[in-house]
Amino acid sequence: MDRSLATRTQEARLHIDLAMRLSPLDPLHYAMQGTRAFTHMSVGEDVEAAEWADRAARSPGSHVLIAMIAAVANVLKHDPVRAAFWAQNVRERNSTLTSEDFGRAFPMKSDAMRVRVQQALAQLGFSSRA
């Protein structure tokens, strides 16, 4: 995920797409889709980001943090209903997750992207621990 978080989106997409083609039945396929969502978020392609994130979060066995990506992506897409759906999914699966947890799981090197994501998480009520 480092390539997409470091804003090397075109290179990251090539690697992610290749990985998905080479391993379409990989049990962590949802993580590749979530990473693909991040590449779109990093360049402001919010509709595409939400599509990839939703697909990833709906995948069997998808990690709760992938649902957080979907919640963020849908905030950025300006789809509050879908964002609320994924935020509720996150809370049902792990009510203690915060924006700090998200930041540790997905360390973003781009300050602009980190701000966008943190603002979306705050809008969804995933504030930092006090």
pTM score of the predicted model: 0.88
Phi-psi region of 59 (alpha: psi -120 to 50; beta: other; left: phi over 0): beta
Instruction: Quote the percentage of the chain above a pLDDT of 90.
Output: 68
Mean pLDDT of the chain: 89
- The larger pLDDT score, comparing residue 128 to residue 94, is at 94
What integer pLDDT is reported at residue 47 of this predicted model?
Answer: 97
Q: Which of 16-20, 36-40, 86-90 has the lowest mean pLDDT?
A: 16-20
Q: Which of 94-98, 117-121, 126-130 has the lowest mean pLDDT?
A: 126-130
The residue length of the chain stands at 130
What integer pLDDT is reported at residue 68 of this predicted model?
Answer: 98
Burial group, residue 24, by CB count within 10 angstroms (0-12, 13-18, 19+): exposed
What integer pLDDT is reported at residue 110 of this predicted model?
Answer: 85
